[in-house]
Structure 1
Amino acid sequence: MPYMIDGHNLIPKVRGLSLQNPDDELELIKRLQTFCRVRRQAVEVYFDKAATGRSGTTNFGMVKAHFVPQNSNADTAIRQALKRLARKARNWQVVSSDRQVQAEARSAHAAVITAEEFAAQLEEALVQAVKSPPGGQGLSAEEVDAWLELFNRDRDENAGL
């Protein structure tokens, strides 16, 4: 199930992030990219109060970031997204500790996760990413030998063609 996240609601719940940091949104996006890679899930994150001329949607791999203009807010944008999804909203998980956002998500039949619960899931994914870096562990010596033997045999068989 993909996630729909109220970004500024989540930031203060994530260890090492602060709304006081001018790069807080980018830092969260980086962590969400790792989460998506480890969990193989897509994320849409909504940030309110986009700087003038900076509103809009940007894709960061499996993370789609929505920068909501100053005349609106993330809560409203999430509500509108759920409305657009209609019956498909039940396939989404909404991350927010805001009671009104949670109520809207439940009425759309979306799953609800508090920002605190998701922050714990995010931290688990980050730890998992450190334990198993991208690309996996590679092949064992025995596996390499088996592949080399197979390729050499195929090369020898095809040499006479």
Structure 2
Amino acid sequence: MPVLIDGYNLLRSVEKVSDTETLTDTALCRLISNYLRYIGELGEIVFDGIGPREKGPFQNLPNLDVTFSGSQVEADEIIEIRIEANTAPKRLMVVSSDRRIVAAASKRKAVSVKVELFWAEMMATLARIPKKKKFAEPLEKRQGITEAETDYWLKVFGFKD
């Protein structure tokens, strides 16, 4: 079941209930990526705003696409568009406690999960993963990096304009 997540809704909720140190958006995305990879699902997390200038940590996360809404559009609007455009909404899990998002999911008969429940389930699942499986070799080690990544690193090291 693909997962669509209201990023800052989840992050703010976790900050309120979790006893962990301050969780960053990049750390949250890594946790979600590990969870999705373990359960064998794909997901997208949508954050409000343009995000950080350097988006490298958000790229190439296994099983997770990270989207920033930009300065003119709210994340809620993008999530609603994704829900509406989904061709199999009954198979879509929408993670948000925002009434507007919950209503959009309900209208399309998508599975709506409150952020607190998703967080608890995700953390419980991650705790059950055997240590050796948590740190599996990255896929890039065997397959190589993408052309976009190659271009990025060539620019970083001054080999390409």
RMSD, aligned CA: 2.5
Q: State how far apart, in whole Å, the 2-side matches of 1:17 and 1:90 are.
A: 36
Q: Does 1:8 align with 2:3?
A: no
Asked whether the equivalents of residues 93 and 112 of structure 1 are also in contact (C-alpha less than 8 Å), the reply is yes
| Structure 2 residue 33 is the aligned partner of structure 1 residue 37 | no
Which one has a bigger Cα radius of gyration? 1
1:125 aligns with 2:125: yes
Distance 1:8 1:90 in 2: 24
CA contact (8 A) 1:47 1:74 kept: yes
Amino acid at match of 2:42: A
- Structure 2: gaps (5+ residues): 136-161
Identity of aligned residues (%): 24
| Aligned match of 2:70 | 69
TM-score, length-scaled by structure 2: 0.71
In the TM superposition, 1:81-160 aligns within 5 A as: 81-85=82-86, 87-129=87-129, 131-134=130-133
Number of corresponding residues: 129
Output one character per residue of 1:4-49: Cα deviation in whole Å (capped at 9) or x when no partner: 000100013333364xx6xx21111110121012212211100111
Aligned to 1:159: none
1:27 & 1:17 partners in 2: Cα distance?
11
- What runs of 5+ residues in structure 1 fail to find an aligned partner? 137-161
Normalising to structure 1: TM-score of the pair?
0.71
